[in-house]
Amino acid sequence: MKNLFDKTTINGMELRNRFVRSATWEGMCDEQGRPGEQLLNCYRELARGGVGLIITGYAFVRPDGKQMPGSIGAQSDDFAPEMQALCKAVHDEGGRLCMQLVHTGGQGRAQGGNKLIAPSAIEAAQYTSPPVEMSLKNIDDVVAAFGASAARAKQWGFDAVQLHAAHGYLINQFLSPHTNQRNDGYGGSIENRCRFLMEVYRSVRAAVGPGFPVLVKLNGSDFLAHGLEIDEAVIAAQALDHEGVDAIEVSSGTPASGDNNPVRKKIDTREHEAYNLSLAQRIKQSVSCPVLVVGGFRSLDLAREVVEKGDADYISLARPLIREPGLVKLWQEGSTARSRCISCNGCYRPGLRGKGIACIVEQAERKKAAGV
Ligand SMILES: Cc1cc2nc3c(=O)[nH]c(=O)nc-3n(C[C@H](O)[C@H](O)[C@H](O)COP(=O)(O)O)c2cc1C
């Protein structure tokens, strides 16, 4: 039977357990995307805290594919010393580091009078302003940018890359009929809507070679009218599996999906935990590659049950590791305490103020204890 603390291997990448820090924008880089001391300390603390694999916040593959301030950049060759230092800090603590690659498309922030790009020039609640439809040349250029960024990540010493195909960003925009209304070979049938994802995957695979782990984060459902639903997500997952993807992480939702957005609040009971589990189960049943499940995991026994039953191979955590970077180590050492994260999403706030993400509940409790 599979165990949460098994040592496993994903295409040669050795992992010390089945816990993953799911990609989490940290807001700790400069305007260009260059990481500094703060991000290095953040990753060191996470790796010291026991999690097997750390996935970076979404790293933009081109400047026009950036959304949040302080995001990490994969678009430039200039960051080698800082990126190598991140990898070394994680490796020194026995962890592994995967770079998540993104183009945010219509969910980006338009800069310098340039319009956002997306599969179709339509207004969508998830977009900040109406985008322009990508030309075939645009598509080829973005596909190439993903490949170039993946090559950099490998060269810098990252252990893997993950393509962000979820949460309403550009790859998801192509997959979803809600945002993809193209009449050419990239729109219409699910096979056509998968074309951009598969071209990005092949570009990345060609750049890093067969022996380097390439993961994909995929929405099992967009939870939007005319959005991507599980039956079509299964087709996308199977296409990736067939091409040799090394693992698929199952998530759901976009910022426009209301209560079913990717970062749900009120995970206050066991019933509210693991909110993407049924989607992950469907994908797990349909593919041969390992499956990661993210979204609302707060209890050790539920994580254990999912892995032991074989409903997923890895458990991904985001907010619980902002509150308690050492949670996995605590669990490994015998604690059965539920995560102290209350899923309030206050962690975004300091990040948006330029200070980097942090648990504001933890900060307030510390201040109170210190009598400040
Ligand atoms: C502050 C913050 C930043 C996030 N940034 C990313 C990101 O860069 N890429 C991504 O795929 N998901 C991102 N997410 C979503 C998480 O990876 C995860 O899917 C979601 O938080 C649900 O998991 P959780 O309940 O363990 O937090 C972010 C979540 C938070 C709270």
What CATH number should be reported for the domain holding residue 221? 3.20.20.70
Residue owning the nearest CA to atom 21 of ligand 1: 263
| pLDDT score of 316 | 99
Name the one residue in this structure whose structure tokens are 């998801």: 172
Q: Residue 120's pLDDT is what?
A: 98
- Output phi, psi for 13, to 5 deg: -85, 115
Mean pLDDT split into 10-residue runs, the chain, 372 residues: 96 98 98 97 98 98 97 98 98 98 95 90 93 98 98 98 98 98 98 98 98 98 98 98 98 98 95 97 98 98 98 98 98 98 98 97 93 82
- Is 2 part of a structural domain of the chain? no
Amino acid 112: pLDDT: 80
Ligand 1 atom closest to the Cα of residue 348 is: 1
Q: Quick one: which atom of ligand 1 is closest to the CA of 345?
A: 31
Q: 120 lies in which domain range?
A: 8-369
Note whether residue 176 is domain-resident.
Answer: yes
Residue 1: inside a domain: no
Q: What does the alpha-carbon distance between residue 295 and residue 334 come to, in Å, rounded to a whole number?
A: 23
Is residue 148, in this structure, part of any structural domain at all?
yes
Considering the domain boundaries, does residue 278 fall inside one?
A: yes
Q: Is 296 in the pocket of ligand 1 (CB under 6 A)?
A: yes
Residue nearest to atom 10 of ligand 1 (CA): 23
Instruction: Report if residue 14 sits inside a domain.
Output: yes
Residue 3 lies in a domain: no
Q: Is the distance from the beta carbon of residue 164 to the nearest atom of ligand 1 less than 6 Å?
A: yes
Closest CA to 58 of 140, 166, 151, 213: 166
Task: Write the residue with the smallest CA distance to atom 1 of ligand 1.
Answer: 348
What pLDDT, on a 0 to 100 scale, did the predictor assign at position 372? 78
Q: What is the number of structural domains in the chain?
A: 1
Six-digit token string for 326? 């050492």
For residue 56, what pLDDT is reported? 99
- SS3 call for 112: coil
* pTM, two decimal places: 0.98
Q: Which amino acid is at 241?
A: D
Atom 11 of ligand 1: nearest residue by CA position: 23
**What's the number of CA atoms in the CB half-sphere (13 Å) around residue 216?**
30
* Residue 128: predicted pLDDT: 87
Ligand 1 geometric centre to CA of 264 (Å): 10
Cβ partners under 8 Å of residue 50, min gap 6: 16, 17, 19, 326, 327, 328, 329, 330, 331, 332
Specify if 113 maps to a domain.
yes
Residue 180 Rama label (left phi>0; alpha psi -120 to 50; beta): beta
